[in-house]
Amino acid sequence: MDAETMRLLAAGISMGLGSLGPGIGIGILGMGAMNALGRNPEARGAILTNMMIAIAMAEAVAIYALVVAIILIFVPVAYNV
């Protein structure tokens, strides 16, 4: 395989694995928030606010993986393989 193929493969793997954890985490966060709302509907505002903040923090990890994948795709290789 040449360097271009390896770069594209690395970008795909980094994006796939980099979004796996946040996807699972956001699912668990949503499940926990829905359970909390079912148990205590009066605390809806506080629960949803905390859920949105936690989802944003988990989503930041996926954005970092996206940045790494874009860098792998568009930055040229400085050496010949």
At 50, which CATH number? 1.20.20.10
pLDDT one-digit tens code per residue, 38-67: 999 999 999 999 999 999 999 999 999 999
Lookup result for tokens 């990890």: 61
CA distance 53 to 66: 20
Residue 65's domain comprises 3-74
| Lowest mean per-residue pLDDT among 6-15, 21-30, 70-79 | 70-79
- On whether residue 79 sits in a domain, the answer given is no
Structure-block tokens of residue 4: 């271009």
Query: How many structural domains is the chain composed of?
Result: 1
Higher pLDDT, 79 or 25: 25
- On whether residue 65 sits in a domain, the answer given is yes
